[in-house]
Structure 1
């Protein structure tokens, strides 16, 4: 048996793992003791997630739809069909009729090539990833003020902070190393403030748990800011201070109590803790950003940082909690509709010139469509072709019926994945891809740490690494690349992409890798004054509950990998809905009762879990089960700034089945 050191392919922590290989198969994993973050530990997903790579459902050969059914074809035929399908649509309707969706599990090198393929070969900026769902607002706010995605703290800063402010995420469940550091810090006496409608495990260790009404996080932040300003707890008054003060003025402690359902003394205490800290760290995730005011919430976190002393340089700062193993990296490398690699705006003349020269092609300069906008355009018949890599859009995006309708209207759909997902089943051509343990490259973790990904085994059958598929497809589209292996593409990245210029292939191969180091431009010392919006999802007489969604501990995103790892799937096999114990008693419902969750878009069946971990009048629905897809009942209205769907909250009702 041999061992191959690589980077874990699940969450954004980027833990070091040894893959144990016997007979050409991965048979186990072991943690890397020298890794600076994981330090010889792994979470349950890290120990067991590799099993999906050995699953018999893996795609092993290209498929093409012929007479309504899939037939195996050669790679040559499959790639020719994809190239012809995409280029024919572009020639007939224009490049804006073509869209591309990339995976957050691509390596950095694959992400960079995909950005090149979309822009230089297909002529489109309609390019996006699933990062839109979790950090669309982060992408709409922070690159504009900092020129990068906003890592001004590192995971290990949690241990040396004097206050942890955690919003919209339970890292103990979804990014366990971050959660472990938060838990250890709280046990060591570092104050922890948790903003979460659920009473999570971490919330039970919090100094203050603000168990807000779902969707009111932004109102809470305004109440905290108002308290800081009104009591003179801020240390500076940057440009925009008067406007921000005016915006926050109506959000009194009384209003916070009434609308957010939190105690006034808790809001006051949080303001005191923030103002009194010297080394606070702010961690935030999709539970904060996936709302109608998601971009406003991120802007207010930036404002909070600026008001309380960014100018002093004492703040560790903001750390967005990116979910997937390379969610941060694919954004850095330009799989976005508005940014070239390195967060260079697509309309920036100097950036256009640099990349056009390297890629030997004229590049589109108009802001492309986000994932949600591409789905809307497909539904209207405006987008005609879509190339989807490693994302099961039907299980990813809300309002699944509308997504299916949009995909079925496409004249051409190509899907590249490990499995024949629900999205792949609608495709005209399906390309079998390699998993993280079957290819070479790098990942960038949530804090900007760039680390090597090493091949441990061959992909099954005829499956290929995404990088090779992109290179072969680019050649058929008239842009051949010579010697484009992972190391060569990495070298091009270090020459052209801001923040990656100081990295080396040897350096990222060392334990802990190297760091993205964004260029330091002129400091942005102006407060952001966001626009607020009313949520359309409000309880009423027909739909009396306010529901919210999230991921259960052992499930992950669309479930494509987790559900094919039996040791993970069995830990949380039953699709549930959580209801407050008093609400359940008043409705005459017992734990384990089959119930139906009904919204304005449809219904799903679940098993009732009765708990005091959610507030009265609310429902918590874990996502991603095939048995009644949660996304079927969620809203797909797009927030104007970030185009993230406001899917985290819904108005609904609970009905007993039978």
Structure 2
């Protein structure tokens, strides 16, 4: 057969880059960037090329399997649906509806079928024990947006294509291409900022790939970013540079709350000189177009909500919210905010620790505890979808223990990983190249308004099922066990709608009045233009006003004031995470092209900290925290702030039965073996993954 070139997108990360895929004799022979894509403009990263590897991965499941005493055995789809529905229904009938829990992994928001059909199917379980990667990732972003703007997904993004001053904290977009800010080809966009005469400033405990090419980088002690941000707000107000819009309230209360956070006090906490804090505050307030952006590093710490609130407050009081070149609300072709609830906080709390829900989900840091603690409401069954919480959530060993004792576990996942190895049934969906796609999530976070429909590149094998078909059929099987009601009829209708139909309806009622037919005529995507001012009209708050003085956040400032700043006393170091361009959380390690090259799993440590512990570069060390210990190689790095060490997230494929990781290519340990599930942000319950106190000692003789 002749080679054909198909346009699609890489939906493995938030960048949603347009790609051109060459297919010959039913196999992918080439993947390259699509220059015509109005958002990514030809950019791709190595993960896009690995789409071919995912398609051809021999470890990927293609039909349902059931775990038996003798190992895994294939079963038919109908038999699998019946088994799952029978077991979940029986457990809820005997122990109550909250005895079944749900965990959703990050890849769900990258899949059209999961977004359109998963919520309806899983809502039929009527359980309050719902967990997801949100509370180990972006919950502070969403909570700050809910409090200030009235909707959990109304997240202003940096208008980096027009900004003249970009201040970034805990973000490394050269590795992520933006996160909670869809900005493919960030390196090129950064160069364009500097060509315009703009300035890029990075605050991070590690000299990241982004920090290395920024105009300015400052080390900051992990967990103290809130002090730096509050000092900026303090200084902007003190200098008379606060100029919030007329629809903003609460400046007086904020002024009082940050009065004690002088640059000198913040300097003592953060390690950033007071004069630098004053200068950055003046530069930011004086720039004609400035944007402050904080990501994982400031979210996944003990004051994550304070940090993300402060990022928004800084943008608001300097007049940069809703201004071109500042931070703006995207206007996607399908209004995602209309289809997803605005959110709520604390409507119920977790059984064991009493942590509040947000948006219908409980903090995942308590999942293991809810499984292992006996009593009324104990979790006895779990549904996981595209997630690997044993590697990606705090205290993974404790969760691993809990999963082993469940009455039933079903996973919608293409792999047998550290979590799904405990499953009774695994339902594998088709890979990205075999399914249609429209991005419902990341157009809502994109730095430019675009729209693109992607047809499947390859045909789906007859025995395979798309994820939306899995949720449709499993949902219909659950409905058969429920009494007739109006809600049952509505759920049945929703489950039977195809993703194509859902997208078409969304486009037709969206702000541009498009249709799927129009998008299919432009397979490279449609450019809908730069971000446009939308406030106060787009706000979902009472009276369409922004109240800066959110009491739950202001109350937490007292905890920040009294918190002792860990600084490596008594030989302790502070552990932070790390992101790699060639990895994707706890998966993508089956691709030889991604895992080849220099090792990327080591613990990075400043040379002075190595010497002070009589350690050498490449040595095997033991990392110990209050939660546990792990063994890993250490690597000397001048990019690390003294007193700080870094270990990447998602490694540690070493448990029995796991089929992930190219043999001999992926080593390392799971950083979540030393993160403490008892440590969470007091306001939102986010896991504390950064600023973890650890001790590092030689593992000689203990390997």
User: How does the TM-score come out when normalised to structure 2?
Assistant: 0.81
Query: Does the 8 Å CA contact 2:606/2:640 hold for their aligned counterparts?
Result: yes
Query: Does the 8 Å CA contact 1:208/1:266 hold for their aligned counterparts?
Result: no
Are 2:354 and 1:343 equivalent residues in the alignment? no
Aligned pair count reads: 624
**What SS does the corresponding residue of 1:551 show, helix, strand or coil?**
coil
- Report how far residue 236 of structure 1 moved: 3.8
Change in Cα spacing, 1:372 to 1:508, as seen in structure 2 (3 Å) is farther
**What SS does the corresponding residue of 1:584 show, helix, strand or coil?**
helix
Query: Does the 8 Å CA contact 2:116/2:468 hold for their aligned counterparts?
Result: no
- Report how far residue 312 of structure 1 moved: 7.9
Task: Give the equivalent residue in structure 2 for 1:360.
Answer: none
Moved more, 460-469 or 10-19: 460-469
Structure 2 unmatched ranges of 5 or more: 178-183, 346-356, 480-490, 653-667
Task: Give the equivalent residue in structure 2 for 1:634.
Answer: 675
Are 2:467 and 1:466 equivalent residues in the alignment? yes
Query: Does the 8 Å CA contact 1:162/1:279 hold for their aligned counterparts?
Result: yes
Structure 1 unmatched ranges of 5 or more: 321-327, 334-339, 348-363
Task: Give the equivalent residue in structure 2 for 1:248.
Answer: 258
Match of 1:419 among 404, 415, 424: 415
Change in Cα spacing, 1:105 to 1:575, as seen in structure 2 (3 Å) is closer
Task: Give the equivalent residue in structure 2 for 1:589.
Answer: 615
Change in Cα spacing, 1:366 to 1:254, as seen in structure 2 (3 Å) is closer
- Report how far residue 492 of structure 1 moved: 5.2
Query: Does the 8 Å CA contact 1:126/1:370 hold for their aligned counterparts?
Result: no
- Report how far residue 508 of structure 1 moved: 4.6
Partner Cα distance (1:190, 1:583) in 2 = 36
Moved more, 535-544 or 55-64: 535-544
**Mapping 1:32-71, distance limit 5 Å:** 32-67=34-69, 69-71=71-73
Task: Give the equivalent residue in structure 1 for 2:119.
Answer: 115
Query: Does the 8 Å CA contact 1:452/1:513 hold for their aligned counterparts?
Result: no
**Mapping 1:128-277, distance limit 5 Å:** 128-146=131-149, 147-153=151-157, 157-175=159-177, 177-186=185-194, 188-236=196-244, 238-277=248-287
Q: Deviations over 1:569-614 (max 9, x none)?
A: 1134352111111222233322222222221222222222212211
Change in Cα spacing, 1:649 to 1:30, as seen in structure 2 (3 Å) is same
Change in Cα spacing, 1:489 to 1:5, as seen in structure 2 (3 Å) is same
Partner Cα distance (1:331, 1:383) in 2 = 35
Query: Does the 8 Å CA contact 2:613/2:697 hold for their aligned counterparts?
Result: no
- Report how far residue 473 of structure 1 moved: 0.8
Moved more, 6-15 or 183-192: 183-192
Task: Give the equivalent residue in structure 2 for 1:337.
Answer: none
Q: Deviations over 1:168-218 (max 9, x none)?
A: 111101226224312442355311111111112322333332211111111
Q: Deviations over 1:138-194 (max 9, x none)?
A: 11120343225234346xx31321111112111101226224312442355311111
Task: Give the equivalent residue in structure 2 for 1:554.
Answer: 582
Moved more, 469-478 or 504-513: 504-513
What's the Cα RMSD here? 3.2
Partner Cα distance (2:279, 2:273) in 1 = 10
- Report how far residue 620 of structure 1 moved: 1.3
Change in Cα spacing, 1:246 to 1:486, as seen in structure 2 (3 Å) is same
- Report how far residue 388 of structure 1 moved: 0.9
Partner Cα distance (1:402, 1:582) in 2 = 34
Task: Give the equivalent residue in structure 2 for 1:361.
Answer: none
Partner Cα distance (2:615, 2:196) in 1 = 41
User: How does the TM-score come out when normalised to structure 1?
Assistant: 0.87
Partner Cα distance (2:415, 2:191) in 1 = 36
Task: Give the equivalent residue in structure 2 for 1:525.
Answer: 546
Are 2:421 and 1:379 equivalent residues in the alignment? no
Change in Cα spacing, 1:642 to 1:26, as seen in structure 2 (3 Å) is farther
**What SS does the corresponding residue of 1:304 show, helix, strand or coil?**
helix
Match of 1:512 among 525, 535, 541: 525
**Mapping 1:330-409, distance limit 5 Å:** 332=336, 341-345=339-343, 367-381=360-374, 382-409=378-405
Task: Give the equivalent residue in structure 2 for 1:285.
Answer: 295
- Report how far residue 553 of structure 1 moved: 3.5
**What SS does the corresponding residue of 2:119 show, helix, strand or coil?**
helix
Task: Give the equivalent residue in structure 2 for 1:599.
Answer: 625
Partner Cα distance (1:434, 1:2) in 2 = 21
